[in-house]
């Protein structure tokens, strides 16, 4: 039983079993061993998404999802994971929308190809557009195990992993039901004597991250909100980074302060313009609400009626019907749409030279 700070169990109606604490991915020691074993050379990491996914994505892994809700989300990489197939996944993320719903939909259509066993997370939804229908379907039917944290809790679990420490003290979760049911634990601070909550490091096996720009070695820049992308890249034992654009090594060396993800934290690098679409990428394009709504409507129809026809059509047309992200973007947008999305972002300057 966990030591707890207060009488939380008397305040709410929820019931849950306290689980033995276990890592849902590599332990800090395992993660360190893998990092030490890798070549640290500045070498060309560029490849195709097919190759990157084939190399790193396996059944049973903990898959870290980058971005935040619909900002700089790794949609291109998730499409390729779905085409490739991956079962018994653990997802780890702070807040995400379309990436986890896309994986959930793939599971509903063909659990022998893609399945999510569990997720450690803070939030899964569509914000203004509505609730996430497929999450609701999976949870109402007890098909997925969840472990709840706050956005800071998940972010700082990746940060602790990136720092190479096994846990980190935080000032939240205490006094909420998350205190009892997640993997954190309350303890007395050895210095102040006050209660303080600890959350364990979270090392995904593979992190999927879409960055603004990177050189061919993987040194990456993040413009706009940085979400938890740098922490996630460094927490993962392996990472697949898609970049909106590839920039010169000379530029990286002229402004080394702008590098947020250092090259050894990147295993596979793929240049994918519109790689976060229908999510947004600051300085390049705003999110495409119509497309997200279209996918959500197909998901909601399935949840309400059990009819998978429209959901299946979406996957057949936009994921299995496209060899890569370029084909997907060609299929779903025209020049005018792309121009409009760029205007709606507002075109804040990003440094690419």
Scan residues 331-350 and list those touching other proteins (CB under 8 A): 344-346, 348
Q: 88, 110, 172, 271: which one contacts other proteins (CB under 8 A)?
A: 172
Can you read off the two tokens belonging to residue 5?
Answer: 């700070």
Residues 120-139 that bind other proteins (CB under 8 A): 121-125, 127-128, 131-132, 135-136, 139
**Residues in contact with 101: Cβ distance below 8 Å, sequence separation at least 6, in sequence order:** 124, 126, 132, 133, 134, 135, 295, 296, 299
Does residue 3 bind other proteins (CB under 8 A)?
Answer: no
Write the DSSP symbol of residue 350.
-
Q: Give, as ranges, the residues between 140 and 169 that touch other proteins (CB under 8 A).
A: 140-142, 145-146, 148-153, 155-156, 159
Using CB under 8 A, which residues numbered 5 to 64 contact other proteins? 5-8, 10-16
Q: Does the footprint of other proteins cover residue 174 (CB under 8 A)?
A: yes
Q: CA 218, CA 249: separation in Å to the nearest integer? A: 10
The nearer residue to other proteins, 52 or 292, going by C-beta atoms, is 292
- List the alpha helices (DSSP H) in 44-176: 49-56, 75-84, 98-109, 133-140, 151-163
Give the footprint of other proteins on residues 186-245 (CB under 8 A): 186, 194-197, 222, 224-231
Q: How many residues belong to the site for other proteins (CB under 8 A)?
A: 80
Give the nearer residue to other proteins in terms of CB position, either 50 or 139.
139
Q: What is d(CA 2, CA 183) in angstroms, rounded to the nearest whole number?
A: 10
Tell me how far, at minimum, the Cβ of 228 lies from other proteins, in Å. Answer: 5
Residues near 215 by beta carbon (within 8 Å), at least 6 away in sequence: 246, 247, 248, 249, 251, 252, 263
Q: Does 289 bind other proteins (CB under 8 A)?
A: yes
The residue among 2, 21, 11 whose CA lies nearest residue 177 is: 11
């Amino acid at each position: 039983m966990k030591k707890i700070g207060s009488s939380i169990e008397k305040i709410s109606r929820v019931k849950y079993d306290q689980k033995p604490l276990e890592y849902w991915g590599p332990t800090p020691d395992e993660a360190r061993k893998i990092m030490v074993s890798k070549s640290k050379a500045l070498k060309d990491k560029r490849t195709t998404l097919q190759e990157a996914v084939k190399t790193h994505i396996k059944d049973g892994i903990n898959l870290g999802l980058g971005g935040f809700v619909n900002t700089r989300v790794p949609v291109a990489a998730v499409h390729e994971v779905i085409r490739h197939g991956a079962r018994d996944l653990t997802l780890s993320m702070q807040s995400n929308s379309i990436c986890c719903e896309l994986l959930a939909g793939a599971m509903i259509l063909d659990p022998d190809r893609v399945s999510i066993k569990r997720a450690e997370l803070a939030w899964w939804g569509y914000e203004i557009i509505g609730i996430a229908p497929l999450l609701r379907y999976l949870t109402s039917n007890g098909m997925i195990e969840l472990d709840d944290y706050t956005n800071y809790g998940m972010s700082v679990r990746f940060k602790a992993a990136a720092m190479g420490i096994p846990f980190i003290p935080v000032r939240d979760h205490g006094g909420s039901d998350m205190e009892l049911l997640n993997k954190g634990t309350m303890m007395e601070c050895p210095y102040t004597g006050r209660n303080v909550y600890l959350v364990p490091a979270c090392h995904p096996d593979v992190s999927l991250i879409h960055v603004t720009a990177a050189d061919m070695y993987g040194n990456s820049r993040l413009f706009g909100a940085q979400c938890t992308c740098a922490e996630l890249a460094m927490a993962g034992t392996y990472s697949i980074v898609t970049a909106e654009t590839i920039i010169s090594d000379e530029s990286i060396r002229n402004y080394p302060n702008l590098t947020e993800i250092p090259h050894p934290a990147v295993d596979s690098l793929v240049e994918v313009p519109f790689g976060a679409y229908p999510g947004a990428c600051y300085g390049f394009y705003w999110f495409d609400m119509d497309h997200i709504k279209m996918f959500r409507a197909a998901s909601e129809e399935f949840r309400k009626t059990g009819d998978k026809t429209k959901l299946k059509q979406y996957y057949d047309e936009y994921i299995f019907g496209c060899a890569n992200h370029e084909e997907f973007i060609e299929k779903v947008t025209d020049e005018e749409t792309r121009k409009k999305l760029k205007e709606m972002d507002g075109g804040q300057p990003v440094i690419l030279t």
